[in-house]
């Protein structure tokens, strides 16, 4: 190991290294706070001035990160934020945590990674470790990140270190965070791998070393492709059950009673968030360049993308059964974020549900305690109250996100017609009509038995 990297290794060992994090969102800020708590000085970089000002003021804008933690680290001078990317030169370790969305053609959009890489290249010096955390396709660290960083003559494994370590953030998860979620790490060479593993070991309880950056990239895509495929499977089972007149919740509960060989996934209105709807398509895109068709991935994407339309068709059927038309109906969508108890609306199926409802001529409103306002289909919306008086004014209520903050008993008693895509409404409290995701409607007060649900811990869409 050359002198610059030996110096870096010593700084990592005694925690005097300076960590720079590019991108202060759901991934970057929790990561910075985790390292700051371990005594590492962290500099956050973002083009969003409001995020920088918020951190400098000691205020968190990420629900999973308490403002008290941010304020304490800022006061101790272990956390700061800036829009001045020239300060990357001060950092010994640089973690790139920027978005990697899909383009309009549903191909990888790596423009944010490209911009971050260019910022790093401009200030790159010997003795720095650069780690990409953003989700990518297998080979991107080697093919996209390494060449520009080595273009100036500094070589990975000799002068600098380059690695990939996928983020595994689960917004709203109260059990697993940065510290206790195992960290997969793979470098472009053995020296890079060792340095990256040692660095993450400062803040993370368990580091999982793999042989290459590409192996780490593939591991991340496998995790979320597994979820996407299984969610698509159970979503299609819900469609099958509807054709057969069966309640998919009851079917899943029965299957989950088997103590081996089955993992319960829950159906829903589609997938959302930054990972599950996008990551498998990064894999599919990469395989297309190698003349291989990822059939499971593509089929799963088709099924999951079709769920919002199915939910709206369910609403139209339910209204028609009450001698009402979707056109002109007042419809309330409960939940705009993609999953319960978070404010993250990225790729949320609720947006597509609202778009389809609007195209069908419905008058749409939404309620979400975590999302006070939003723009859908170029139309501004504000969250409306979810109380008895408000609910009574709608022809149909669509449960798109099952926030624990929603008053489910009130929803059950006060709504005329409910289409429940999450199995959240207590059926024994329903006084109007409830249509589950599959199977027959529940009219009036439901039977005394409780609604069928899968085992606790089953994965959700």
Q: Identify whether the C-beta of residue 54 lies closer than 8 Å to the C-beta of residue 60.
A: yes
Residue-level pLDDT, tens digit, the chain, 461 residues: 779 999 999 999 999 999 999 999 999 999 999 999 999 999 999 999 999 999 999 999 998 999 999 999 999 999 999 999 999 999 999 999 999 988 777 788 899 999 999 999 999 999 999 999 998 999 999 999 999 999 999 999 999 999 999 999 888 888 999 999 999 999 999 999 999 999 999 999 999 999 999 999 999 999 999 999 999 999 999 999 999 999 999 999 999 999 999 999 999 999 998 888 888 999 999 999 999 999 999 999 999 999 999 999 999 999 999 999 999 999 999 999 999 999 999 999 999 999 999 999 999 999 999 999 999 999 999 999 999 999 999 999 999 999 999 999 999 999 999 999 999 999 999 999 999 999 999 997 644 444 454 443 445 55
Residue for token pair 């609910």: 391
Give the closest residue to 253 by CA, choosing from 17, 441, 47, 436: 436
Rounded to 5°, angle at Cα 271 from 373 and 419: 70
Residue for token pair 């409960």: 334
Give the separation between CA 130 and CA 159, rounded to whole angstroms. 12
pLDDT of res. 461: 54
Query: Residue 404 is encoded by which pair of tokens?
Result: 């624990």
Q: Which residues are paired to 80 by β-bridges?
A: 43
Spell out the domains of the chain, with CATH numbers in brackets: 3-211 (3.40.50.720), 249-443 (3.40.50.720)
| Known catalytic residue at 275 | yes
* SS3 per residue for 362-412: CEEEEECCCCCEEEECCEEEECCCCCHHHHCCCCEEEECCCCCCCCHHHHH
What are the φ/ψ torsions at residue 239 (nearest 5 degrees)?
Answer: -65, -40
Give the separation between CA 85 and CA 44, rounded to whole angstroms. 10
- Given 19, 91, 97, 275, the catalytic residue: 275
Give the closest residue to 333 by CA, choosing from 307, 354, 310, 362: 354
Give the separation between CA 300 and CA 441, rounded to whole angstroms. 27
Question: Helix 67-75 crosses helix 28-37 at what angle (to 10 degrees)?
Answer: 50
**Helix, strand, coil % in the chain, rounded to nearest 5:** 40, 15, 45
Name 161's Cβ contacts closer than 8 Å, sequence gap at least 6.
Answer: 5, 8, 128, 129, 130, 187, 191, 192, 195, 196
Query: Residue 204 is encoded by which pair of tokens?
Result: 């993370």
Name 6's Cβ contacts closer than 8 Å, sequence gap at least 6.
Answer: none
pLDDT of res. 456: 39
Q: What is the DSSP string of 311-356?
A: HHHHHHHHHHHTT--STT-EEEEE--SSSTT----TT-HHHHHHHH
């Amino acid at each position: 190991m050359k002198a610059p990297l030996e110096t870096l290794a010593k700084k990592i060992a005694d925690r005097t290294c300076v960590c720079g994090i590019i991108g202060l969102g759901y991934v970057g800020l929790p990561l910075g706070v985790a390292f700051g708590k371990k005594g590492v000085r962290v500099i956050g970089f973002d083009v969003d001035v409001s995020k920088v000002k918020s951190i400098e003021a000691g205020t968190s804008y990420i629900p999973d990160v308490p403002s008290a933690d941010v304020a304490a680290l800022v006061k101790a001078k272990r956390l700061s934020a800036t829009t001045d990317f020239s300060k990357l030169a001060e950092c010994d370790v640089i973690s790139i945590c920027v978005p990697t969305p899909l383009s309009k053609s549903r191909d990888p959009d790596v423009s944010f990674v490209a911009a971050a890489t260019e910022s790093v290249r401009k200030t790159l010096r010997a003795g720095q470790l650069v780690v990409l955390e953003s989700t990518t396709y297998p080979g991107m660290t080697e093919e996209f990140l390494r060449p520009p960083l080595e273009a100036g003559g500094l070589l990975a494994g000799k002068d600098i270190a380059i690695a990939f370590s996928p983020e595994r953030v689960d917004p709203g998860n109260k059990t697993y965070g940065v510290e206790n979620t195992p960290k997969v790490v793979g470098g472009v060479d053995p020296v890079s791998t060792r340095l990256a593993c040692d660095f993450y070991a400062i803040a993370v309880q368990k580091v999982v070393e793999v042989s290459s950056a590409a192996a780490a990239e593939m591991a991340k895509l496998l995790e979320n492709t597994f979820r996407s495929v299984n969610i698509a499977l159970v979503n299609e089972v819900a469609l099958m059950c509807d054709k057969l007149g069966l309640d998919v919740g009851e079917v899943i509960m029965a299957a989950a009673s088997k103590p081996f060989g089955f993992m319960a996934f829950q159906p829903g209105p589609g997938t959302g968030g930054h990972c599950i709807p996008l990551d498998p398509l990064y894999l599919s895109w990469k395989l297309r360049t190698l003349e291989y068709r990822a059939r499971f991935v593509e089929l799963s994407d088709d099924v999951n993308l079709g769920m919002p339309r199915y939910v709206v068709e369910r609403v139209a059927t339910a209204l028609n059964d009450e001698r009402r038309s979707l056109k002109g109906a007042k419809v309330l969508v409960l939940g705009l974020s993609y999953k319960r108890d978070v404010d993250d609306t990225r790729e949320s199926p609720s947006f597509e549900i609202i778009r389809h409802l609007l195209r069908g001529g419905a008058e749409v409103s939404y309620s979400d305690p975590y999302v006070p306002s939003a723009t859908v289909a170029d139309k501004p919306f504000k969250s409306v109250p979810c109380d008895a008086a408000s609910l009574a004014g709608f022809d149909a209520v669509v449960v798109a996100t099952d926030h624990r903050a929603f008053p489910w008993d009130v929803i059950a008693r006060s709504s005329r017609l409910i289409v429940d895509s999450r199995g959240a409404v207590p059926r024994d409290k329903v006084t109007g009509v409830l249509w589950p995701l599959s199977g027959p409607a529940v009219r009036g007060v439901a039977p005394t038995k409780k609604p069928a649900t899968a085992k606790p811990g089953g994965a959700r869409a």
